[in-house]
C-alpha cells in the first residue's frame, strides 16, 4: 500500500491528488464508500450520523469525530455517479456560496486490487493542506477497514 501525493496550483485554486492501491476489488471499495453503515465504520463518523442518497443530485451528510473528540457536521450532494467507478461529491463549506468538489475514481488493477484517486481543488493553500490531510486520513481508515475483511 502506498499513497502518492501531487499538490498543484490550478488556475482557479490550489489542488491535490492522492492515489493509493487498495487490496480489495472495485465493488468492495465502492460499497465501503457508498453504504452508510460501512462508511461510518472507517470514515471517523459518529454512529448513526451518516445518510447517503448516492445519485446525481442526491444529498449526503455525516458528523465526523476527530481523535480529540471534537465533532463536525458535514453536508453536501453528489453531482456525478458512475457506479462502481466514479463519484463527484460536492461538500458544503460554511461561509462559502458554492460547495467545494472532490472527485473519486476507482480503477481495477487485477481481480483483487483497486487504485483509488481522490482530487480536490481548494481556494487557498491552507484549505488545500487541511483537505489533503483529511483525505489522507480517510484513505488510511478505508485501507484499515478493507484489510479487516468483509463486514455488514
Distance separating alpha carbons of residues 125 and 62, to the nearest angstrom: 25
Position 95 scores a pLDDT of 80
* Residues with Cβ within 8 Å of residue 16, at least 6 apart in sequence: 5, 6, 7, 8, 119, 120, 122, 128, 131, 132, 135
Q: Does residue 99 or residue 149 have the better pLDDT?
A: 99
pLDDT at 18: 97
Residue-level pLDDT at 1 = 42
Domains, in order of start, for the chain: 3-147 (3.30.530.20)
Longest distance between any two alpha carbons in the chain, whole Å: 44
Mean pLDDT within 97-120: 94
Rounded to the nearest integer, the mean pLDDT of the chain is 89
What digits encode the pLDDT tens for the residues 37-87? 999 999 999 999 999 999 999 999 999 988 899 999 999 999 999 999 999
Residue 11 has a pLDDT of 47
Q: Are 104 and 87 spatial neighbours (Cβ–Cβ below 8 Å)?
A: yes
Grid-cell match 455488514, residue found: 152
> How large is the average pLDDT for residues 99-106?
95
- The span from the CA of 69 to the CA of 120, in Å, is 26
Structural contact between residues 59 and 45, judged by C-beta atoms closer than 8 angstroms: no
Query: For the ranges 6-15, 42-51, 54-63, 121-130, which has the lowest average pLDDT?
Result: 6-15
Strand pairing report for 114-122 and 100-108: antiparallel
Cβ–Cβ < 8 Å for 129, 9: no
Amino acid at each position: 500500500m502506498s499513497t502518492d501525493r501531487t499538490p498543484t496550483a490550478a488556475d482557479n485554486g490550489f489542488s491535490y491528488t492522492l492515489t493509493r492501491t487498495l487490496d480489495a476489488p472495485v465493488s468492495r471499495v465502492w460499497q465501503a464508500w457508498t453504504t452508510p453503515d460501512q462508511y461510518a465504520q472507517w470514515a471517523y463518523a459518529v454512529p448513526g450520523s451518516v445518510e447517503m442518497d448516492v445519485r446525481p443530485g442526491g444529498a449526503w451528510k455525516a458528523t465526523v469525530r476527530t481523535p480529540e473528540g471534537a465533532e463536525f457536521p458535514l453536508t453536501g450532494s453528489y453531482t456525478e455517479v458512475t457506479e462502481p467507478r466514479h463519484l463527484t461529491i460536492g461538500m458544503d463549506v460554511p461561509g462559502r456560496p458554492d460547495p467545494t468538489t472532490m472527485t473519486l475514481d476507482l480503477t481495477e488493477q487485477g481481480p483483487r486490487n483497486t487504485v483509488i484517486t481522490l482530487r480536490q481543488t481548494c481556494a487557498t493553500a491552507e484549505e488545500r493542506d487541511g483537505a489533503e490531510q483529511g483525505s489522507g486520513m480517510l484513505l488510511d481508515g478505508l485501507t484499515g477497514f478493507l484489510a479487516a475483511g468483509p463486514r455488514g
